[in-house]
Amino acid sequence: MRYFIELAFNGGNYFGWQRQPNDISVQETLEHALSTLLRKTITIVGAGRTDTGVHARQIFAHFDVQEPLEAETLTARLNGFLPNDISIIDLFEVPENAHARFDAVHREYQYFLSTKKDPFTNGFTYSVSQIPNLAKMNAAAALLLAHTDFQCFSKSKTDVRTYDCKITKAEWSQQDDVLVFTVGADRFLRNMVRAIVGTLLSVGYGKMDIDGFRAVLASKDRSSAGTSVPGYALFLNKVTYPINHFKL
């Protein structure tokens, strides 16, 4: 039997989602909790990787068991067992061929920039000393929607078969003293969003013009893009699956 877990986490204490040989990850922490409570070794498959320090407001994972579970009871026990920076939102049975990673059709991230020192957003926003030009950054971001190969924004050492992604939304907005970049796509490459934000900031600060950004997209060369911004201000906002495709 296969179950989906919907969860949220503060990634500040973790070296990303995926299990690491020498560092703590969200996957390892959740697997340990499930294995302890169910008294059997549980391996989970997540909807995707997140970088070190990145947070998730919504992410899904699946795991298999031989016998049916009391989902509501297990959800409560997991939330009591897990550290406070990981929260189980829901747990439900799905068809045995349902896959948390491969069946996801859309993912959305948000990156937060703070233009003013604020103790209540510290650790969740990237502070900038100068306000970048949002209009120029949005003009450059619009080019992402017409592009497909994003090798220029991918971490160089990665095992992906293709660098193609279909970005359906990429825009900056302002919420008081915080600038928010929202980007949605069918899939993302490792380090992709952070590299995009860093490169768009180069445009916003006048270090790169629109033609320069267009040249970066065509280059397929990570060294031509801007510096990646820190992970602690990045949130996986939501993961979307086909409507009515999962819950039994």
Mean pLDDT per 10-residue section of the chain, whose length is 248 residues: 97 93 95 97 94 96 95 97 97 94 96 92 91 97 96 81 94 95 96 96 96 95 94 96 72
Provide the CATH number for the domain formed by 106-238 in this structure.
Answer: 3.30.70.660
Query: Cα torsion for 170, 47, 231, 174, to the nearest 10°?
Result: 30
Tokens coding 5: 């877990």
8 A C-beta contact, residue 66 and residue 28: no
Residue extent(s) of CATH 3.30.70.660 domains in the chain: 106-238
Architecture of domain 2-102: 2-Layer Sandwich (3.30)
pLDDT at 157: 65
Active site residue 51: yes
pLDDT at 245: 63
8 A C-beta contact, residue 93 and residue 248: yes
pLDDT at 244: 61
Residue extent(s) of CATH 3.30.70.580 domains in the chain: 2-102
Query: Which among 23, 51, 64, 149 is annotated as catalytic?
Result: 51
- What span, in angstroms and rounded, lies between the C-alpha atoms of 173 and 118? 19
